[in-house]
Structure 1
């Protein structure tokens, strides 16, 4: 994953040092170690909730696709993978394996 590529066969989970709460349809988070604040909205809170327990990236995408009306599957997968990648880059989510 050093090149920024996420494997669909890797389980991801929230980082331990992140405190989060729901507020007006979005999730507000603080990385306790860094003192950084983040807010996510749209489909982000649903993805965040599913990352409470370790989940394979491919299973995360599949479960979201079942719940939401998705047009182009490839575009949807890229959107979810990109969002999870940004969470990993910010240290908010980590590989569980």
Structure 2
């Protein structure tokens, strides 16, 4: 899920973002922008992957790897929160 305190805008079809707290600028690109929009609220990695696979022609293992890599960068930069999935 996204952390608060970021300004996000569209520039020529790509998402760009600035962290208000750090002053850092990020170009999320087209696919990163799709992921960013998907995580506006709590969602699973599986849901993100399924959404991207319905939009683009990509192999499952490649999509999962790229999504996890991107999310790790966002997490390390303090831009998202990660929650463990709770099973009832």
Give TM-score scaled by structure 2 length: 0.84
Which residue of the other structure, out of 50, 56, 78, is the alignment partner of 2:65?
Answer: 78
**Higher-strand-fraction structure:** 1
Report the Cα distance in structure 1 between the residues aligned to 2:65 and 2:32, rounded to whole angstroms: 14
Unaligned runs of 5+ in 1: 1-12
Which residue of the other structure, out of 63, 74, 77, is the alignment partner of 1:90?
Answer: 77
**Higher-helix-fraction structure:** 2
Alignment of 1:1-97 (within 5 A): 13-70=1-58, 72-96=59-83
Report the Cα distance in structure 1 between the residues aligned to 2:33 and 2:8, rounded to whole angstroms: 10
Query: Post-superposition, which runs of at least 4 consecutive aligned residues in structure 1 deviate over 2 A?
Result: none
Across the aligned residues of Structure 1 and Structure 2, the Cα RMSD in angstroms comes to 1.4
Unaligned runs of 5+ in 2: none
Count of residues in Structure 1 that have an aligned counterpart in Structure 2: 84
Higher relative contact order (CA 8 A, sep 6+): 1
